[in-house]
Structure 1
Amino acid sequence: MNKTNIYQQRRNTLAKQMLSKTGGGIAVISTAPEVARNRDSEFPYRHDSDFYYLSGFDEPGATLVLKVSSKGQLESHLFCRPKDAEREIWDGIRLGPEAAPEVLGVEFAHSNQSLDQKLSELLADQEAIYIRLAESAEADRRLRHWMKQVRGQSRSGINPPSEFHDVECLIHEMRLFKDAHEIDTMRKAASISARAHVRAMQVCKPGMREYQLEAELLHEFRNSGAQSVAYNSIVAGGANSCILHYRAGSTELRSGDLCLIDAGCELDGYASDITRTFPVNGKFSGPQRALYDITLAAQEAAIAMTKPGNTFMQPHEAALQVLTQGLLDEKLLKLADYGSLENAIETGAYRRFYMHRTSHWLGMDVHDVGSYRESIEGIAQDEKPWRILKSGMALTIEPGLYIRPADDVDEAFWNIGIRIEDDAVVNDSGCELISRGVPVKADEIEALMKS
């Protein structure tokens, strides 16, 4: 299946949901705006994920409108920037509305300058409109303007939509399940990121700066064809490894310290997300190795529970068992204070050393969309059961331990931060780890760095 057909199929799937829910209607999805970086330049442009998921179009200034009749007939309208020879000299070639139908497989394309006028026509006599509810003040203003234009035609017997629905709920449920094209792209992204992590391990040596390792990652990402990072890379040496969202800075990487790298590229709109922790000098110390092996065992326990039929939380619960037992074994938690492993978990004793969950969804966004709980009517959100894992879901598996200096902690463990993260796609037999192109066992890491 070519890419155009993929996006057409997704639009058709959304149209069927709209037909089932409200007997048709209008869906309006705009892409992300350009954002100024400073006085005369913008941040590198990145499309809106929902918009791209349905259109495959990555230019700014665009809006997709889907009109679904009561008989299920779909009209796709793309509003995009018109061709402009002067601006294209400065900013690059635009697709333009004339070429869009053939290239993107939409039925109609228009200049984005006609959006307000055309929307008032498309909204006329529609029962329901699907939009992003409470998206922004500007989006609300534009919706009020469109509705006002339609209401102005009431004496002609034309009425505006009377029902408002959140289009994100429908799109995000679709995005939660990855098709073969998406999984293939994510495999390629993870492979590139794995090579970047290998590169960083191979060049790392005492005396380097964090930003120098970040440069190695970025080189491998772009040199391998990735368009961008999926998120700001974390390169954290020594005590910085205990800061969860630390940015690569100028700290010197010292012999005897660990380096934690959490970095992934974005390829063709899809994210990868890998974390590895390794010794700057290529050899784990005794305390470092002890905590590393505990963390890896926790990840292996979580991987074993990542399979269809289990809940989203079961891998996390499996990791907690191993991590908390390891903390007790290493006397970072004292059994006498809690009485049992179960009580240490129940009371959250582990949280001072492990304060995040083991997984999150992964896809077009690094923290991808989709509810973590089952959708059951009549039950409060926080009482709904955790989501059942199914084939096609993609998620990270990333346990960690972060030991900060404290009076009741053996000084040998101070400033050791460890996280091990891989990307998993749930399949019929369990899950596929798509990011294991970089070593994960301590012996393998040491061997790679030695070579």
Structure 2
Amino acid sequence: MRYGHRPGTHRKARRLADRGHSSSTRAYLSSPERLSSATMPTSRSSGVVANGVFADRRQSILKQLRGAPLLVRSAPEVLRNGDVHYSYRQDSNFKYLTGFDEPESILLAIPKGKGPNGKGRLRTILFVRPRNPAMEVWDGERAGVRGAKKMYGADDAHPIEEFWDVFEEESKDWDMLGYGLGCDPAFDRALVDHFSRRWTGRPRRNQGLPTMVDPRPAIHEQRWIKSPMEIEWLQRASDISVSGHRVAMAIAQPGMYEYEVQAELEAVFRRDGSPRNGYDSIVASGANACTLHYIKNDQKIRRGDLLLIDAGAEYEQYSADITRTFPVARKFSDAQRAVYNVVLRCQKKCIKACKPGTPVRRLLDLSRRELTKGLVELGVLRGRNIKKLVDDEKYKPWYMHGLGHWLGMDVHDVGPYETMAGKSVLMQPGMVTTVEPGLYFQKNDKRVPKELRGIGVRIEDDVLITRGGCRVLSEAAPKEVRDVEKLVTGN
């Protein structure tokens, strides 16, 4: 019988999803706050609740720009095909500074005393799409100029069509501007042309364009260390994702298609409050797991396959990123268990090493050393000198990626891994990273024992660095062999 026709599946999925939540999230899911916010766009709830947070963020960035006004643009709408757009997602920096979710918007934050109406205080100006009942019938309600002020805390707001006129008046005496060149060449040229016209005919001592100060490093550094509110949102995203993973592990069966499992996984995400994924879900059965970014998800799952699922929900535009690998409706085979235990042992040691002051590079080196040991144990590599095997990168055909990445508003979030001097960044409280070692043995790889061919295993958790060590945000997703086997077999 095809999976989609089995009775009772959705009731089972809902029960399993409920088990995966932390107590705080279970309380939230039944609260009036969740019921009201679930019917509102994310931008509305963020804007109303946290205007002071966004204002503080803008103020902090302006201090780092040393007097330069700040200009940040929203993400553009992008055509998918014909006149159909991709689902809109706001630029992460713009969202971080405003909470505003609509396209065709510009933020102008002006420091104290700048511009003709400065009056000695920070001013925030938003340029937005005006209300348009005819268009809103098609595309939904807009905040408009009044909403930008009332709901998002702008000191002033204008229709986006008035940007250049207002900008010309505001920027008459500016000698600096915080703006990141390179994202939109057409707008960059228009900005340069604007300032070129402004300086035409001025005395020679005033010739030249304002100094462009790229604000992105300052914004990214601030986004790198998460606030308590951001940590709460990341925990919510992780809780929702854990629920989806638990359901997928429990309902996957031989004969299903990968996209059917994906559908159940993502149904939990949506039902539990996530409007979209943080990235395309990877649901890879058998040897498909050896393709790192496999997103076709169109193959039938065979009896005896492992299933690797790499999927994360987004909540308030903060993303989780969790990977679990499990046998489909059965226990691990001996070969599968051997590979899995090598990866799990490595991951647990790396998580234990996550604490303030630990160089990020040390974690990567630890993962390479542990997986190289495992490759020797599995009979893939030979030799007793593990250090030499690592130095010679003998692990690389089967462990070709890094250990993890920063996590936040973007699934591959902002933040460096090395200092300007080439030294490894040290972990600090408030950083959130993934820890995701893996081993991948292609089905036609004759360098490895036959029983290992076609096995791909990755285990990934989201880890918050705390003052005393770390906290695994995704710890409720089963990964110990006994727990995985209990969930997938129902025993």
Settle same-fold status: TM greater than 0.5.
yes
**Contact (CA 8 Å) 1:129, 1:161: kept in 2 or not?**
no
How far off its partner does 1:158 sit?
8.1
Looking at structure 2, the residues matched to 397 and 41 of structure 1 have their Cα atoms a distance apart, in angstroms, of 37
SS of equivalent to 2:249: helix
Q: In the alignment, does 2:411 pair up with 1:385?
A: no
Native 8 Å contact 1:194 1:438 kept in 2:
yes
Q: Confirm whether residue 287 of structure 1 aligns to residue 332 of structure 2.
A: no
Q: CA deviation at 1:236?
A: 0.4
**Shift in Å at residue 411 of structure 1?**
0.6
2:63 alignment partner AA: K
State whether residues 195 and 210 of structure 2, in contact with CA within 8 Å, keep that contact through their aligned partners in structure 1.
Answer: no
What is the match of residue 314 of structure 1? 362
> Which of 436, 458, 477 pairs up with 1:438?
477
Q: Distance in 1 between matches of 2:202 and 2:474?
A: 58
Counterpart residue number, 1:111: 159
1:44-59 equivalences in 2 (<5 Å):
44-59=87-102
Q: 2:460 corresponds to which letter in structure 1?
A: E
- Offset at 1:140? 1.6
What letter corresponds to residue 436 of structure 1 in structure 2?
E
Secondary structure of 2:137's aligned partner: helix
Range that drifts further, 389-398 or 95-104: 95-104
Once the two structures are superposed, residues 315-374 of structure 1 have per-residue CA deviations (whole angstroms, 9 ceiling, x without a partner) of 222222211101011111111xxx510001101100000000111000000000111112
Measure, in 2, the Cα distance between the counterparts of 1:122 and 1:357.
46
Q: How does 1:205-244 map to 2 (within 5 A)?
A: 205-244=253-292
1:29 aligns with 2:80: no
Match of 1:66? 109
Could you say which residue in structure 2 is the equivalent of 1:358?
A: 403
Give SS of 1:214's match.
Answer: helix
Equivalent residue number for residue 345 of structure 1: 390
Is 1:5 the counterpart of 2:5 in the alignment?
Answer: no
- Distance between the aligned counterparts of 1:424 and 1:153, measured in 2? 57
Q: Which runs of structure 1 show a deviation greater than 4 angstroms over 4 or more consecutive aligned residues?
A: 155-161
- Secondary structure at 1:213's aligned position in 2? helix
SS at match of 2:470: strand
- 1:403 paired to 2:446: no
SS in structure 2 at match of 1:352: coil
Q: Percent identity?
A: 37
CA RMSD of aligned residues (A): 1.8
SS for the counterpart of 1:349 is coil
What residue in structure 2 maps to residue 253 of structure 1? 301
Higher mean Cα deviation, 425-434 or 124-133? Answer: 124-133
Q: CA deviation at 1:281?
A: 3.2
Tell me, what secondary structure is at the counterpart of 1:44?
A: coil
Task: Assess if the C-alpha contact under 8 Å between 1:52 and 1:58 holds in 2.
Answer: yes
Bigger shift: residues 9-18 or 182-191:
9-18
Question: Is 1:133–1:165's contact at 8 Å kept on the other side of the alignment?
Answer: no
Q: Give structure 1 stretches of 5+ with no counterpart.
A: none
- One-letter amino acid matched to 1:445: V
The CA deviation string for residues 352-402 of structure 1, in whole angstroms up to 9 with x for no partner, is: 000001110000000001111124xxx4xxxx1011110001110000000
Question: What SS class does the counterpart of residue 308 from structure 1 fall into?
Answer: coil
Once the two structures are superposed, residues 128-160 of structure 1 have per-residue CA deviations (whole angstroms, 9 ceiling, x without a partner) of: 111112223123222123213422473799877
Structure 2 residue 239 is matched with structure 1 residue 191: yes
Aligned residue in 2 for 1:15 = 62
* 8 Å contact kept, 1:66–1:76: yes
Once the two structures are superposed, what CA deviation does each residue of 1:240-297 show, in whole Å capped at 9, x if it has no partner?
A: 0000000142211111111100001111110000000001232100011011011011
Query: C-alpha distance in 1, partners of 2:284/2:71?
Result: 42
Residue type matched to 1:172 in 2? H
Gaps of 5+ in 2: 1-47, 115-119
Partners of 1:233 and 1:248 within 8 A in 2 = no
1:41 is the counterpart of 2:84: yes
1:413 aligned residue: 452
CA 1:158 to 1:109, structure 2 compared with 1: closer, same or farther past 3 Å? farther
Mapped partners of 1:70, 1:307: distance in 2? 43
Instruction: Quote the Cα distance in structure 1 between the aligned partners of 2:208 and 2:154.
Output: 25
Contact map agreement 2:70 2:179 (CA 8 A) in 1: yes
> AA paired with 1:305?
A
Number of the residue aligned with 2:463: 424
Instruction: Specify the code of the residue in structure 1 equivalent to 2:464.
Output: V
Equivalent residue number for residue 96 of structure 1: 144
Cα offset for 1:102? 2.2
Distance 1:442 1:153 in 2: 75
Alpha-carbon distance between aligned partners in 2 of 1:351 and 1:171, rounded to the nearest angstrom: 35
CA contact (8 A) 1:126 1:161 kept: no
The answer on whether the counterparts of 1:124 and 1:161 sit within 8 Å (CA) in structure 2 is no
Q: 1:347 to 1:157 in 2, by over 3 A?
A: closer
| Further displaced range: 155-164 or 108-117 | 155-164
Using the TM superposition, name which of 413-422 and 142-151 deviates more. 142-151
Is the 8 Å Cα contact of residues 416 and 425 (structure 2) preserved in structure 1? yes
Does structure 2 conserve the Cα–Cα contact (< 8 Å) formed by 1:26 and 1:128? yes
C-alpha displacement of 1:122: 2.1
Q: What amino acid does structure 2 have at the position aligned with 1:296?
A: L
Contact 1:119/1:146 (<8 A) preserved: no
SS in structure 1 opposite 2:151? helix
Change (3 A) 1:160 1:9: farther
What is the alpha-carbon distance in structure 1 between the residues aligned to residue 412 and residue 188 of structure 2?
A: 26
Report the counterpart of residue 489 of structure 2 in structure 1: 450
- Code of the aligned partner of 1:85: P
Counterpart residue type for residue 148 of structure 2: A
Distance in structure 1 (CA, Å) of the matches to 2:433 and 2:174 = 38
> Does residue 1:81 correspond to 2:126, yes or no?
no
- Residues paired across the two proteins, number: 437
8 Å CA contact 2:328, 2:488 repeated in 1: no
Alignment check: 8 A CA contact 2:62 2:111 kept: yes
